[in-house]
Chain A
């Protein structure tokens, strides 16, 4: 039974990690394309951007709903505490996602599109901003009492380090959005996004370097956690691999490759995500509440695995099918 109480929360930590990773990657390029739409030079170009997302944005966003539901069920304490602590970033994110989602439907039917174009771009930016602050402040730690209830103030999520994380995440989204568009567009439009991809690669890298170096300096707990073997080797390897991947991304962009930049970006996301996961584990409300303390009862966790576990491959299957059906370029019409 003891082993079970250790094992099950770990399984759920990994499942939640999977949902979160899929969300950040898939809705990441959605949000990135949305932010980039603010800079689109013509209405025709903006239309291509939105068309490239038309069939997938809803499914991509659903991974967030799924992550929320699974966190609620598997770690109820964390769900309540984290969201209460992050009240303002959560509301900003939700408002952003609402603006963005309705822009798809309303722009389609509107004669004057400016307001919905703005709703789409600004909504995407707000959603990314809220998520960035949330990530930054979870990373930084949430003040709780002995029972794991939030005891901090309403502005706890705001610090220069969380601003840095938020900016880096936005850059990351712009990067993956750009490489997605490199894959989905042609000609001049494609060239534009090769440029934004390169720019975003540099800014994201700068942010990542800053976060990687500042984290052990500012967080004693993380420092002790990281600077002891065997994690030390892992954390030594992650920045090296990261630099290598950025190099490969740069080369593929320079060579004018179409699909590989996106693949390299996804791998960069994966690597960063694993790094963050290893820093946070075994905490679910850093720096004090572990996954074992916040977990639902073992029977609950087992029940959810039985129901949800077998659905994960099915969900992945039809989501992939959706991408296969709509594969190919989105270009301007010839009529």
Chain B
């Protein structure tokens, strides 16, 4: 239990713990916000009550996750100061500004319009409400943008130089447009969208399996499926482009992702490892199942590699990641899920084309619906795995190739961090379990299809009746 007295290890554990838990909530709400924009848009356009009830039902799950997402995200920002003070000082000029932009442009936009989106149905005209929903979705995705700008800059620092250990920005736009930025933002954008789509699809499948509101949920299922046709293949393509960039900019991470210990010269072929037991001690894989000549196909779609690949051994122990097995398997889990979800989409589309997904027959597609139910949590697992590859794979660097994580931790007594780490671990576990509990209650309860449709021609700033606010519950207009 030596690590319990190591402040750096404890700070890393605390950051990892809060990040892994926090991620669970916004990854759903960011994507689901776009879904809500789509269904509310359909309602504004067609005035079909079903779309309105869709918007209301899914926003119940949305707000549950949103509130917890906000709360669980707070420690993330403050930890840069509390636990990583030398880091804050070294890169604050750029990194801090970006977090400031995230708060002012994105987060504030989302929070500022959320009240209207949730409780304003009968207080503002539909078009203003729709605008609020769009702003919430826009703000959420702008958050993704800025966070990924900041994180991809840590991976591929650009736009200035480190002078005496402090980053001095020469060109902000170059720093923002760092080499990883575009792919990282897109990969995460589609990850949130894909996760949400399969959660919504999975819950819809559950209702149809139970034969509750089949027609209603066939609707959301088809919206989800139509979106998945586009999203799942794009995500695989962007994932591939990201891996190519890792190969180019972060060779030590690529070596860890493939558990590749030896150098591979250009022009040769190499096997692609499917399962293995990497060992830091022996600097080799103890057991391995390989796909012959596979690595070239995985990276370049041909058998020979046109450029050499550096093996882990070509770095000294202190300059390469240590958790090889974790990175290796996290990468396989992420990409495996990416393909599995695309496969599920393909099978579903085939059934759709065969006319099996009409409202009357869809509930009979039991194996397909069970597949969707099973797929509901997979997006989360893929996102978590992806971030593990991204950030554990970057070690031992905080800023790749420039600042070592070990030098960036605040000089704090280990006991103090251990106490807060324990507190966060307990608190986040409780939050996780309670969210699942309350989400399942919302789902079991089901949508309220009797909910009155708000009047179409509503004057802006209508007189506010005191009875609009009811105790014990949200205001009447916010109720399901």
- With contacts A105-B438, A297-B93, A334-B467 taken as known, whether A69 is within 8 angstroms of B461 at the C-beta atoms is no
Q: Contacts of B64 on A, CB cut-off 8 Å?
A: 105, 109
Please pick, from A44, A62, A83, A98, the residue contacting B472 in the complex, using a CB distance under 8 A.
A44
CB atoms of A98 and B71 under 8 A apart: yes
B74 in contact with A98 (CB, 8 Å): yes
Stretch at the interface among B117-125, B307-315, B322-330: B117-125
Contacts of B106-128 to chain A: CB distance below 8 A: 107-109, 111-116, 118-120, 123-124
Interface residues of A in 291-335 (CB under 8 A from B): 296-297, 299-300, 303-304, 307-308, 311-312, 315, 318-319, 322, 324-335
Q: Which residue of B lies closest to A297 (CB)?
A: B93
Across the interface, which residues of B come within 8 angstroms of A79, CB to CB?
80-81, 85, 88, 92, 96
* A300-B97 contact given A80-B88, A80-B410, A109-B438, CB 8 Å threshold: yes
Q: How far is the CB of B400 from chain A (nearest CB, A)?
A: 20
Identify which of A52, A68, A86, A329 contacts B466 (C-beta below 8 A).
A329
In this complex, what residue of B is CB-closest to A52?
B469
Q: Is A94 an interface residue (CB 8 A)?
A: yes
A62 touches B111 (CB 8 A): yes
Taking the closest CB of chain A, its distance from the CB of B59, in whole angstroms, is 13
New A-B contacts (8) at CB < 8 Å, excluding given A73-B100, A98-B427, A303-B172: A58-B67, A59-B115, A62-B108, A62-B112, A76-B93, A80-B85, A87-B412, A296-B97
Q: Quick one: which of A56, A109, A311 contacts B115, CB cutoff 8 A?
A: A56
Choose one: A54, A68, A91, A297; the contact of B474 (CB below 8 Å). Answer: A54
| Cβ A81 vs Cβ B100 within 8 A | no
Interchain CB contact under 8 A, B123 and A326: yes
In the bound complex, residues from chain B placing their C-beta under 8 Å from that of A48 are 469, 471
B102 at the interface (CB under 8 A from A): yes
Separation in Å of the B473 CB from the closest CB of chain A?
7
Task: Flag if B94 contacts A300 (CB, 8 Å).
Answer: yes
Q: Mark A98-125, 1 if CB is under 8 A from B, else 0.
A: 1111101110111000000000000000
Q: Is the CB of A101 within 8 A of B67?
A: yes
Chosen A-B contacts, 11 in total, with CB atoms closer than 8 Å, are A59-B114, A69-B102, A76-B93, A90-B78, A91-B420, A98-B74, A150-B85, A311-B105, A318-B113, A319-B112, A325-B124
Q: Would A106 and B93 be within 8 Å (CB), given that A66-B103, A83-B85, A333-B471 are in contact?
A: no
Cβ B115 vs Cβ A326 within 8 A: yes
Does B190 count as interface, using CB distance less than 8 angstroms? no
Contact yes or no, A43 B472, CB < 8 A? yes
Contact of B88 among A72, A88, A90, A319 (CB under 8 A): A72
Q: Given contacts A66-B104, A91-B82, A110-B438, are A76 and B92 in contact (CB under 8 A)?
A: yes
Query: How many angstroms from the CA of A311 to the CA of B92 in the assembled complex?
Result: 21
A284: min CB distance to chain B, Å? 13
Q: Which of B68, B105, B412, B470 sits near A333, CB closer than 8 Å?
A: B470
Q: Which residues of A contact B90 (CB under 8 A)?
A: 76
Total A-B contacts with CB atoms under 8 angstroms apart: 263
Chain B residues whose CB sits within 8 angstroms of the CB of A296 once the complex forms:
92-93, 96-97
Q: Which residue of B lies closest to A63 (CB)?
A: B108
**Which of B102, B169, B471 is A300 in contact with, Cβ under 8 Å?**
B169
Most chain A beta-carbon neighbours within 10 Å: one of B87, B461, B469: B469
B72 at the interface (CB under 8 A from A): yes
Give the distance to chain B from A211, nearest Cβ to Cβ, in Å.
Answer: 26
The secondary structure that dominates the B interface is helix
Residue of A74, A99, A101 with highest tally of chain B CB at under 10 A: A101
Cβ of A62 and Cβ of B103 under 8 Å apart? yes
CB pair A330 B469 closer than 8 Å? yes
Min distance, Cβ B165 to any Cβ of chain A, angstroms: 12
Chain B contacts for A318, CB-based, 8 A: 109, 112-113, 135
Is B112 a contact partner of A325 (Cβ separation < 8 A)? no
Least distance between B333 CB and chain A CB atoms (Å):
29
Tell me if A31 counts as interface (CB < 8 A to partner B): no
**Distance of B433 from chain A, by nearest CB (Å):** 11
B86 sits at the interface (CB 8 A): yes
- What is the size category of the interface that chain A forms with chain B? 35 or more
B467 / chain A contacts, CB cutoff of 8 Å: 331, 333-335
List of B residues within 8 angstroms of A312 by Cβ? 104
Q: Which residue of A lies closest to B439 (CB)?
A: A109
Do residues A69 and B472 form an inter-chain contact, with CB atoms below 8 A? no
Asked if residues A322 and B461 are in contact (CB atoms below 8 Å), the reply is no
In the assembly, what is the distance between CA of A332 and CA of B469, in Å?
7
Q: Is the CB of A109 within 8 A of B472?
A: no
Instruction: Pick the contact of B72: A56, A98, A110 (CB < 8 A).
Output: A98
Q: Which residues of A contact B474 (CB under 8 A)?
A: 51, 54, 108
Chain A proximity of B17: nearest CB distance (Å): 14
Rounded to whole angstroms, the CA-CA distance of A281 and B201 in the bound complex is 56
User: Which residue of chain A is the closest to B71 with respect to CB atoms?
Assistant: A101
- B99-A69 in contact (CB<8A): yes
Interface status of A243 (Cβ within 8 A of chain B)? no
> Are A81 and B74 in touch, CB under 8 angstroms?
no
B464 in the interface, Cβ–Cβ < 8 Å? yes
Q: Contact between B427 and A95 (Cβ–Cβ < 8 Å)?
A: yes
B120: which A residues are within 8 A, CB to CB? 55, 325-326
Chain A: which residue is nearest B428 at the CB level? A98
Q: Is B241's CB within 8 Å of the partner chain A?
A: no
- Provide the residues of chain A in CB contact with B78, threshold 8 Å: 68, 83, 90, 94
Tell me which residues across on chain B come within 8 A of A304, comparing CB atoms. Answer: 97, 100-101
Cα distance, A210 to B159, chains bound together (Å): 51
Q: Which residues of B404-451 have CB atoms within 8 Å of chain A's CB atoms?
A: 410-413, 416, 420, 423, 427, 431, 434, 438, 441-442
Top 6 A-B pairs ranked by shortest CB distance? A76-B92, A83-B81, A55-B115, A80-B85, A72-B96, A47-B471
| CB under 8 Å from chain B, chain A span 8-57 | 43-45, 47-48, 51-52, 54-56
